[in-house]
């Protein structure tokens, strides 16, 4: 463990150098009539919390900042001393009609070690303590219940020590900290892995994933279940023709699930017409359902998108989308199946009905 921390500390200067100071993302388009609520979480380095929350339907933005301290307008350098009393936090604005506070808490717990009283992973000190800052009595009750259930779950051999505190004044962090995972993806991933966070979380939550519910059939079963095009795309990394596939122009409301396992991957709420001839989405339903890999086929360097549980080839993701993350998930119709809103309950996906409530 000592060796890992030393290597991690040596990497920090490389991580902080050479990143753009401004994000190229387009502005978020929101419903002017919607009423948004706030949620604030401290989970160690705030770089590691933005991505998981920003990709959740209903989340308008996740802003890195500082709270809980005793000085006004603290800088990153001041907070890093541990003398201002501030926590590094993410403050989330979300639409409660599209996502719930419980869902936000579920994501939060899956990003941290809530049993660590001294910081998070390689980051030590009070500024890296974990905490839930509630904005209402209702949030406080939900957070206390969620913490109690987690403590009794048997996941940990030590007590959950994450504090539940009343929200105080929030100070937005410097621009170069905002959306760091998008501005500097390679450095971000190097930092995250080097800190030990990814390895820990994978070990803790490995039995909580949905392998059982969304288990991949055998290859023999797949050949019987899938059409030749579906098999070629998902199992052999094939590509279907643009503008001549099932969903490229589908405008109905509903969700898109993995053709192999049935696991939910995308929603029509995040689908847009990119003009490329394949279904395009600004984000996935849940970042835990997909994974990205470098694809160097055909003399190009692209980012491939695969389904985690089935390991199916889905398509590619590009940095030219219109959403808050500026992403375009270009997905083969042959790798997904569409379930319209009116069939969600019948097909066992009733928990996604709330996304489509007006």
Are the C-beta atoms of 119 and 44 separated by less than 8 Å? yes
Known catalytic membership, residue 330: yes
- Annotated active-site residue 48? The verdict is no
- Which residue is catalytic, options 80, 184, 276, 330? 330
Record the tokens describing residue 343, joined without a space: 């069939």
Determine the Cα–Cα distance for residues 233 and 249; give it in Å rounded to an integer.
19
As to burial, measured by CB atoms within 10 angstroms (0-12 exposed, 13-18 middle, 19+ buried), residue 15 is buried
Relative orientation angle of helices 185-195 and 197-205, to the nearest 10 degrees: 70
Q: Which of 45, 80, 184, 276 is the catalytic position?
A: 45
The size of the chain, in residues, is 358
According to DSSP H, which parts of the chain are helical?
A: 2-16, 47-54, 76-80, 101-109, 137-151, 180-183, 185-195, 197-205, 219-225, 228-236
271-303 core/surface letters (b: 16 or more CB in 10 A; e: else): beebeeebbbbbbbbbbbbbeeeebeeeeeebe
Tokens matching residue 73: 């307008």
Rounded CA-CA distance 212/125 in Å is 39
Helix (H) or strand (E) holding 167, with range, is none
Q: Please tell me whether residue 94 adopts helix, strand or coil conformation.
A: strand
Tokens, residue 321: 């989308």
Nearest to 94 by CA among 53, 42, 36: 36
Strand order in the sheet with 171-172: 163-166, 130-134, 37-43, 87-94, 59-67, 171-172
Residues forming the active site: 45, 330
């Amino acid at each position: 463990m000592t060796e890992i921390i030393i290597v991690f500390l040596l990497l920090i200067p490389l991580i902080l150098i050479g990143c753009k100071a401004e994000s190229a993302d387009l502005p978020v388009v929101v419903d002017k009539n919607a009423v948004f609520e706030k949620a604030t979480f401290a989970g160690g380095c705030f770089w590691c919390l933005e991505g998981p929350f920003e990709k959740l339907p209903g989340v308008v933005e996740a802003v890195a900042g500082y709270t809980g301290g005793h000085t006004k307008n603290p800088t990153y350098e001041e907070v890093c001393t541990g003398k201002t009393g501030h926590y590094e936090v993410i403050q989330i604005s979300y639409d409660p009609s599209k996502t719930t506070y419980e869902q936000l808490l579920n994501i939060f717990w899956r990003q941290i070690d809530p049993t660590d009283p001294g910081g998070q992973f390689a980051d030590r000190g009070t500024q890296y303590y974990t905490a839930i800052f509630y904005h209402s009595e209702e949030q406080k009750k939900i957070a206390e219940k969620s913490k109690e259930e987690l403590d009794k779950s048997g996941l940990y051999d030590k007590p959950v020590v994450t504090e539940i505190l009343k929200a105080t004044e929030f100070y937005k962090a410097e621009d170069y900290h905002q959306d760091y995972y998008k501005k500097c993806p390679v450095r971000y991933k190097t930092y995250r892995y080097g800190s030990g966070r990814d390895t820990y979380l994978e070990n803790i939550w490995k039995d909580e994933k949905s392998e059982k519910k969304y288990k991949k059939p055998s290859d023999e079963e797949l050949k019987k279940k899938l059409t030749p095009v579906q098999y070629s795309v998902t199992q052999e990394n094939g590509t279907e023709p643009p503008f001549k596939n099932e969903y490229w122009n589908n405008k109905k409301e509903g969700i898109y699930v993995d053709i192999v396992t049935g696991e939910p991957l995308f929603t029509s709420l995040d689908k847009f017409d990119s003009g490329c001839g394949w279904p395009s989405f600004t984000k996935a339903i849940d970042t835990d359902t997909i994974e990205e890999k470098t694809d160097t086929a055909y003399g190009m360097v692209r980012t491939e998108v695969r389904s985690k549980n089935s390991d199916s080839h889905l398509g590619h993701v590009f940095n030219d989308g219109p959403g808050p993350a500026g992403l375009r998930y270009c997905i083969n119709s042959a790798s997904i199946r569409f379930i319209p809103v009116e069939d969600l309950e019948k097909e066992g996906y009733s928990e996604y009905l709330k996304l489509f409530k007006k």
